[in-house]
Amino acid sequence: MTKDKKRKKTNKRPQADTRSGNGLHKRRSYTDFILLVYDILAVNFAYFLALWLRFDCRISDIERIYLTPWAKFAPIYTVLCIVVFYLLRLYKGLWRFASYSELAHVVIASGITAVLHTVVITLVFRRMPISYYMIGAVLQFVLVIGARFSYRFVLLMERNISKGSKRVMLIGAGSAGQMILRDINRLGKLDEKVVCVIDDNPSKWHRYIEGVPIVGGRDDILVNVEKYGVEKIYLAVPGATAGERRDLLNICKETDCELKNLPGLYQLASGEVRVSQMKNVSVEDLLGREPIRADMEDVFRFLSGKVVMVTGGGGSIGSELCRQIAAHNPKQLIIFDIYENNAYDIQLELREKYPDLDLVVMIGSVRDSRKLFEVFEDYRPQIVYHAAAHKHVPLMEDSPCEAIKNNAIGTYKTAYAAMVHGCERFVLISTDKAVNPTNIMGASKRLCEMVIQSFDTKIKAGQAQDIPQLFTHEGFENADRDGTGEVFRNVKTEFVAVRFGNVLGSNGSVIPIFKKQIEKGGPVTVTHPDIIRYFMTIPEAVSLVLLAGTYASGGEIFVLDMGSPVKIDTLARNLIKLSGYKPDVDIMVEYTGLRPGEKLYEEKLMAEEGLKKTDNELIHIGCPIPFDVDIFLSQLETLMMEAYSNNPDIRDFVADMISTYHPEQSGEKAQKDATYKKLVTE
């Protein structure tokens, strides 16, 4: 192909775009010209009509002394109006989207021209009847604004009579509800129509908001859903407490309607309440528990200017830890993770949001002593949040040695590296599955807690040198390479653990599984109709972890009061309802039986641990269960060797070390546990 031909081919599209732009410009110019001609006729006709009305609607009765000044002033007034209208951009608006701003411009333009008309015709020609000035100004305003808002009015009427519009019930007749209603009316293309409003304030009942009736309170939701044929429900009560929101949603989920929720007050404060802010109602909203509201000032004062390391920093909890830490001026943030995709995602997010943050992202395993020693030697983190762990119960039942290698031994190696490199605080992320564990994952996390307690005991006794260093390959990572023991003098690392329940929205949460099953049309699988769990949100879990870093004095196990346990079966059925389906009708619920290592309930604390209060009434400290630290540490090295040799009987070794580990109580036997009978309430 020749250069000329290429050039011709390249130029084709711009020419087409130019023609298209010219065509659009011509249409806009034509519309503006029509509007200009209309205004010329309207402004003069308005004052002529005022004269006609003044003289009893008879043209023949209009006195010439008034008709002649009107006729002579008309050309002058026409020019004055066009100039004023142009300066106030009455020929530049997109009138299909006309709103208060455009209305204000028309009001101002009409006011200015009315004053000009009164002053000029009176001073130059003669004084006219008072009714002429008043009626003429009003008629001119009506004619000018009518032409400009009529298009939007026609569009609104078409939407209101559209048979395809989804009928919406709006809960909340306050500021947020009014903004949502106006936004729906403003966005002409939204295939939605608000047909009724619900509000618990009786003084608002039987009144109207934007032409839509307020039909009653929450007790009237079900009746009016049927009466008005409602298909969608918008919950616009951002100031409601978690309990109030839960009660409203529990009523709404009994309908077949799609539910949307305005998340919080911040949108209202910022004036950004839009339909686009409405989110799908989440299961978290149905839990009905207020989020933990801790005073985080001490936490962030503690973190400011420190070198902080997060292991497993790409995971659900780890990444949220990184977000909150990055927001509060650490000297340096080190993310350490074995899975590069997650680490890369949080790296991109933090670099975009905090360009001045000194961020280091390292790929490596907590099993690798040499890598850990290298990282601690190079960066000297002062605070470590240890979130790296295998957490999937059934998978760990199939690979028990991996749970021990990664969780127990990985925690030990990370803690040891932190201790000998001058780390100030080491915070372990634990789980309620560590309490009376019936699965190897829970048992491995209990081993992690015991590791932390052992380190704390030895350090406080001034015996840090007696903590054995576990090697899989001896060499570079040897802490006491010079043989003087100097590295173990003045060790002051404080070790604590944080224990919480299931985290909604995390990678291992059951909620994403349920959602995928619902999207496929079911069935939704629940292991047992009576299985219960404690739940919390990711921000709550992270707040607890951060608080543990400030409350710590060494050796504690921090526990969050997570409220009442929730039945997984109820959770699954609620999620089906929130998706607009009926459980066991549209989407079936199937029970598959307890999985290996799974029990019907989880406990927050072992019965013998007891609780101490902290400054936050929802955060407690479990008193550590005493055990022989020296025996435990000697057993741990044997356990490591058995794990790395992939001994199929690894559970027997774990059971010898953890008196509360009872793998035989998983499955059906757990149903007979007396504690469960006390926890479950029908």
Tell me the catalytic residues.
433
Instruction: Decide if 91 contacts 29 (C-beta within 8 A).
Output: no
Q: Where are the alpha helices (DSSP H) in 410-532?
A: 410-420, 440-460, 510-519
Instruction: Decide if 336 contacts 386 (C-beta within 8 A).
Output: no
Q: What is the DSSP letter of 194?
A: E
Neighbours of 118 (CB within 10 A): 18
Q: What is the dihedral of CA 270, 271, 276, 281, to 10 degrees?
A: 70
Measured CA distances, 682 to 219, 492, 531, 674 (Å): 24, 49, 12, 16
Here the tokens at position 462 are 């001034």
Coil/strand/helix, residue 416: helix
What is the chain's percent helix, strand, coil content, to nearest 5?
A: 55, 15, 35
- CA nearest to 540, candidates 560, 516, 515: 560
Instruction: Decide if 502 contacts 534 (C-beta within 8 A).
Output: yes
Across the chain, which distance is largest between two alpha carbons, in Å? 122
* Cα 539 from Cα 293, distance rounded (Å): 10
Q: What is the DSSP letter of 663?
A: G
Here the tokens at position 582 are 């009926």
Here the tokens at position 395 are 């998978």
Here the tokens at position 367 are 């099993």
Query: What are the φ and ψ backbone dihedral angles of 484, each rounded to 5 degrees?
Result: -90, -20
Q: What is the DSSP letter of 362?
A: E
- The residue behind tokens 């305005």 is 262
